[in-house]
Amino acid sequence: MTTVQDPKSITFADVKRAARNIASFAHRTPVLTCETLNEMTGHQLFFKCENFQKTGAFKFRGAINAISNLAPEQRKQGVVTHSSGNHAQALARAASLFEIPSYIVMPSSAPTVKKNAVICYGGKVTECEPNLDARLSTSAQVQQETGATMVPPFNHPDVIAGQGTCTLEFLQQVPHLDLIVAPIGGGGLISGTCVAAKAIARRIKVFAAEPAGADDAFQSKKAGKLIPQRNPQTIADGLLTSMGKLTWPYVRDVVQRVILVSEEEIVTSMKLFLERTKVLIEPSAAVAVAAAIGKDMLKPQSPRNIGVIISGGNVDLDNLPW
């Protein structure tokens, strides 16, 4: 029995509102199945392909929802964030669809290809020193100069609600899921997943998949308190951050298990998935696949219907990890 120990930041009504907000902007991504992976595992696996989402990741949902919820006068001042990953691209693209400016603070160490992707989507890039203090101070400065609204990558109700639309869709597409596995980094995706899944059917379990080399969610859940991530070591570059104050309560109270996977499992799963399904997933997404097909997943008496959220597919094809 899951007990909710304090009020959570969003409700299912927020997720449904987010679904209406994003409907004309985001793709309704397909659900993929693979006979070989089902035979391998004895489960019925369903993959919700957010790598086919605009900008190649689920992050677009939260970004669009956050912008949708701004008042018109606020919106026209634009949005700002600091990120070198999928959130940066998502926010730049979402802003361009609303024809408003986006200001993206990126560490000077970010790969040129990532900067160019943000610029291509219409984002204005400001470089800063590659540390958290510089990111925060630079984005605060940009915010002050431009009047833009900060849209953080995960620790924001509108972002969490937007990410929750992924599971709302997933359960419309495959209503009989018993379990949903999603990767955890900052926790925006898993929190939205918890809200949507539990509201739709309380019996649905939510598992978080985390790299053993960046196991703050696992350690926090074990300790019963939020322990920040220190010195993460993983190829899953979308899962390096610590959880936030808004996302941790969902992990603590609603997520049933945090499954850890090794770096080898991540790479093997990424390659196996590409080979068998012909679909490219990024290492952070492969973390959830590795958890779903891994030895640590309980072997049930009868095959279970397991939903896996494929969080993104942005991969540097010149540096594949095998």
Point out which residues bind a copy of itself (CB under 8 A).
Answer: 30, 49, 51-52, 56, 271, 274-275, 278-281, 313, 315, 317-318, 320, 322
Which helix or strand (DSSP H or E) is residue 35 part of?
helix 35-41
Of 76 and 271, the one with the shorter C-beta distance to a copy of itself is 271
Please say if 59 is a catalytic residue. yes
The smaller minimum CB distance to a copy of itself, of residues 34 and 140, is found at: 34
Residues 6+ apart with CB under 8 A from 5: 249, 252, 253
Provide, rounded to whole angstroms, the least separation between the CB of residue 173 and a copy of itself: 14
Is residue 102 annotated as part of the catalytic site, yes or no?
no
Q: List beta partners, residue 49.
A: 310
- DSSP label at 313? -
Burial category of 275 from C-beta neighbours within 10 Å (exposed 0-12, middle 13-18, buried 19 and up): exposed
**Residue with Cβ nearer a copy of itself (63 or 179):** 63
Q: How far is the CB of 273 from a copy of itself (least distance, A)?
A: 10
Q: How far apart are CB 51 and a copy of itself at their closest, in Å?
A: 5
Q: Which of 8, 48, 54, 59 is catalytic?
A: 59
Q: Could you identify the residue written with the tokens 């919106």?
A: 75
Q: DSSP labels for 155-222?
A: SSHHHHHHHHHHHHHHHHH-TT-SEEEEE-SSSHHHHHHHHHHHHH-TT-EEEEEEEGGG-HHHHHHH
Amino acid at 252: R
Q: How far is the CB of 56 from a copy of itself (least distance, A)?
A: 7
The residue to which tokens 């980094």 are assigned = 185
**Cβ-contact 43, 308 below 8 angstroms:** no
Tell me the C-alpha distance between 217 and 208, whole Å.
9
Q: Which is nearer to a copy of itself, 51 or 165 (CB)?
A: 51
- Smallest gap from Cβ 176 to a copy of itself, in A, equals 21
Which residues does the annotation mark as catalytic? 59, 84
